[in-house]
């Protein structure tokens, strides 16, 4: 294997790197005081594999999103109700930073995290004004395959 070299950064490089990180954090957290929002929408997409929750304004512009995978859950644990509640908690913290108090909840999908995500939103202090299920339902489905001729 040979000798391992440890590369050390100079002070100048370290300062530049920290400035880059700080500027990115400031950009994410930056919200104009005139644009402080009071209301928004929360879209919960719960599949068999993951739970994704998005926070938008009333026009539909995404302000923040989180998923079970982005929080740190892996594999089949992403689809659990516990993971969905943790995702909702993370989103409520972001909503509090943005100043959002009232939300409309729109739920889509068939996963097990639907109910627990809504319960967690309410338990963490968000005022839920309405809950709507927007799961797509096929009206007539796909065309069936041709009959088999033997």
Structural domain contains residue 27: no
Partners of 133 in the β-ladder = 107
Structural domain contains residue 89: yes
Question: What's the pLDDT tens digit per position in 38-78?
Answer: 999 999 999 999 999 999 999 999 999 999 999 999 999 99
- Measured CA to CA, the distance from residue 37 to residue 68 in angstroms comes to 26
Structural domain contains residue 7: no
Structural domain contains residue 48: yes
Residue 96 domain boundaries = 41-133
CATH number at residue 65: 3.30.420.80
Structural domain contains residue 26: no
Q: With CA atoms as reference, report the closest residue to 109 among 85, 133, 81.
A: 133
- Measured CA to CA, the distance from residue 124 to residue 91 in angstroms comes to 10
Q: Compute the CA torsion angle 109, 113, 114, 116 (nearest 10 deg).
A: 180
pTM value surpassing 0.75: no
Structural domain contains residue 8: no
pLDDT reported for residue 12: 80
The total number of structural domains that make up the chain? 1
pLDDT (tens place) for every residue of the chain, 150 residues total: 567 776 776 778 778 777 776 776 665 555 454 467 899 999 999 999 999 999 999 999 999 999 999 999 999 999 999 999 999 999 999 999 999 999 999 999 999 999 999 999 999 999 999 999 999 998 998 899 999 998
- Measured CA to CA, the distance from residue 78 to residue 143 in angstroms comes to 33
Structural domain contains residue 145: no
Structural domain contains residue 114: yes
- Measured CA to CA, the distance from residue 83 to residue 50 in angstroms comes to 9
């Amino acid at each position: 294997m040979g000798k391992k070299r440890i590369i050390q950064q100079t002070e100048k490089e370290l300062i530049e790197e920290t400035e880059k990180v700080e500027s990115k954090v400031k950009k994410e957290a930056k919200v104009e005081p005139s644009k402080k929002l009071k209301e928004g929408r929360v879209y919960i997409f719960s599949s068999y594999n993951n739970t994704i929750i998005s926070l938008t304004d009333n026009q539909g512009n995404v302000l923040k999103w989180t998923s079970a995978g982005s929080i740190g859950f892996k594999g089949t644990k992403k689809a659990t109700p516990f993971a969905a509640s943790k995702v909702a908690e993370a989103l409520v913290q972001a909503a509090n930073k943005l100043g959002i108090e009232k939300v409309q909840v729109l739920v889509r999908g068939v996963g097990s995290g639907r109910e627990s995500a809504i319960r967690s939103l309410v338990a963490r202090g968000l005022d839920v004004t309405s809950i709507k299920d927007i799961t797509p339902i096929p009206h007539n489905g796909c065309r069936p395959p041709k009959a088999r001729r033997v």
